[in-house]
Amino acid sequence: MTTFSVGEHDFLLDGSPHQILSGALHYFRIQPEQWADRIHKARLLGLNTIETYVAWNAHEPVEGQWSWADGLDLAAFLKAVADEGMHAIVRPAPYICAEWDNGGLPAWLFGDGAAGVRRDEPVFMAAVERYLRRVYEVIEPLQIDHGGPVILVQIENEYGAYGSDPEYLRKLVGITRAAGITVPLTTVDQPEDDMLSAGSLPELLHTGSFGSRSPERLATLRRHQPTGPLMCMEYWNGWFDDWGTPHHTTDAAASAADLDLLLGSGASVNLYMLCGGTNFGLTNGANDKGTYEPIVTSYDYDAPLDEAGHPTAKYWAFREVIGRYTELSAEVPAGFSPAPVLGSPFTGEVDLLDAVEASGSRVGVGHLPTMDEMGQFHGLAVYRTRIDLDEDAELSFADIRDRALVLVDGEVAGALDRARKVFSAAIPAGSHEVTLLVEDQGRVDYGPRLGEPKGLIGPAVVRFDSGETTEIGDWSYLPVPADPLPLLEPTSAPDHSASDHPARDGRPVLRRGSLDVAGPADLFLDTAGWGAGVVWFNGLCLGRFWDVGPQRTLYVPSPLVRTGANDVVVLDLHPRAGARIATLAEPILDSPIAG
């Protein structure tokens, strides 16, 4: 039986000192058919371990409806790690951050009856225990002392930056040990005294998260971890991107030099990220430290392996450093190969609002509902009301989460935008039907705004020049279906030729076309000439696009690509005439494309 433990100064593998050389791969951000490729390239980099989070809301998006399917098979992922002869670190949290929607916490946790999260509160803890027991049923038989790859399990995640409830942490440890987890347990926090003090327990191994000044960070960690091995559980070798801001990169040589200092001190490391992958679907998170900043679809992270799994300059710089501390394989991974360049027109187009209206029955309510109240935890929803005005006025809301197109009598009249703090729209005198198409752009993943509801946040008031206000209480709503394909059927809405009816009056559209491919291959779908919205490729939601940049291409993994015709559906909130389907030879993640 193989053993793994925490010694006086080192990790001990079968009693001998062991330096963990790990890289982060999130199984839920990479297609299962590509797991083995990314794991193999990790080993060729010189790593001996793979780390992953577990995203609770991916596995249980609706309370009581659990899934290990559709790319969420954690056991299969861990077995793929073992097949490569590597160890695994699992971080099930329940909160993960990870620039992931709601930090991995399911939106349903925050509904009626939920009294508090990330603390010792009965409603939350009951849900957490059910969640962790499901996860530990997978992890327990795959621990190293059972012949599996798992050597460490993390309790919570950067908890010292959020709270300081030691009883909550103790209960998480109790649930973990009661489920048969016997490997060492860790916590992680940024190397700041207050965070390290609040975020762990004396019996747990403290680890750090940082991306520079390693000797200084490790010294701070040592003050809080007098004995045992030092480890950077998140060595930030890159960063994530927000819509409308420049693409983040870090210098490969500088990152490698700092990594050398870290490893040279004898510390262990987990590269965050090794390969970031993609926020498929509508899974990207957002940050809000005074300004709401939604995260882009790509989670490339400027990592050693790019979003498509190709080695970057950082990969080779890190490999040279890691080779000073471990023996490297003579095998090296292949470099980047250009993707096929393809193009085709859209062949069909429907008005989105007409199609949604034809797809379901509108619900009338006597108050302004959130999307969460509708049971719509992702995507878009249509709100409607009638306003009768004797004079021009403004319709305003307490908050918009996160963006809304405003239509007056069916004509686009503007947009409300949380990030730009635009919460009101002008409404002319008269009797008008006012429609708002509201888009959830990603739930906040870090800090006190975790769990906030999406949609229109009331009160909704009409404000006159005199300062007088009138609240609007009568609303109807209709969620936009998560699967757009039925909306494209002739029974849902009249089909319009993309050439005959280009972007009718600027109203949102669903467009459909086919891309003919000679054989399965990675593709980079070009969104230039599109506005903002969501793309589905052969039925899988690739994620969001937006012409504010910096991300211009959407990655299409080869397992999704069929020989011959491939179905492409685009929901475009700001459609333009002349838009078409095209792919590029390589990704573009660093260029604003508005204009």
Task: Based on the residue annotation, tell me whether 234 is a catalytic residue of this protein.
Answer: yes
Task: Report in angstroms the alpha-carbon separations of 280 from 212, 337, 484.
Answer: 30, 23, 16
Nearest CA-CA partner of 11 in 321, 231, 325: 231
Nearest CA-CA partner of 433 in 343, 353, 532, 344: 353
- Count other C-beta atoms under 10 Å from residue 215's C-beta: 12
Those residues with Cβ within 8 angstroms of residue 591's Cβ, 6 or more apart along the chain or in another chain? 247, 549, 550, 552
Nearest CA-CA partner of 153 in 188, 126, 118: 188
Given a contact cutoff of 8 angstroms between Cβ atoms, the answer to whether 455 and 438 are in contact is yes
Sheet strands side by side (includes 393-401): 424-427, 393-401, 455-463, 469-471
Given a contact cutoff of 8 angstroms between Cβ atoms, the answer to whether 300 and 276 are in contact is yes
- Among candidate residues 51, 99, 234, 293, the one labeled active-site is 234
User: Which burial class, exposed, middle or buried, applies to 338 when counting CB atoms under 10 A from its CB (0-12, 13-18, 19+)?
Assistant: exposed
Distance from the Cα of residue 319 to its chain's centroid: 28
Q: What is the rounded distance in angstroms from the CA atom of residue 50 to the CA atom of residue 267?
A: 17
Given a contact cutoff of 8 angstroms between Cβ atoms, the answer to whether 463 and 396 are in contact is yes
Q: What is the rounded distance in angstroms from the CA atom of residue 301 to the CA atom of residue 294?
A: 15
| Token code pair at residue 510 | 């669903």
| Token code pair at residue 30 | 């990479």
| Start-to-end Cα distance in the chain | 63
| Token code pair at residue 94 | 């329940």
- Among candidate residues 84, 140, 158, 439, the one labeled active-site is 158
CA dihedral sign, ordered 76, 77, 83, 88: negative
CA dihedral sign, ordered 482, 64, 90, 32: negative
Given a contact cutoff of 8 angstroms between Cβ atoms, the answer to whether 446 and 289 are in contact is no
Q: What is the rounded distance in angstroms from the CA atom of residue 228 to the CA atom of residue 71?
A: 36
Nearest CA-CA partner of 559 in 67, 15, 32, 13: 32
The DSSP-derived string for 54-94 is --HHHH-SBTTB----SS--HHHHHHHHHHTT-EEEEE--S
Q: Does an H or E element contain 435, and which?
A: strand 430-439
Active site residues: 158, 234
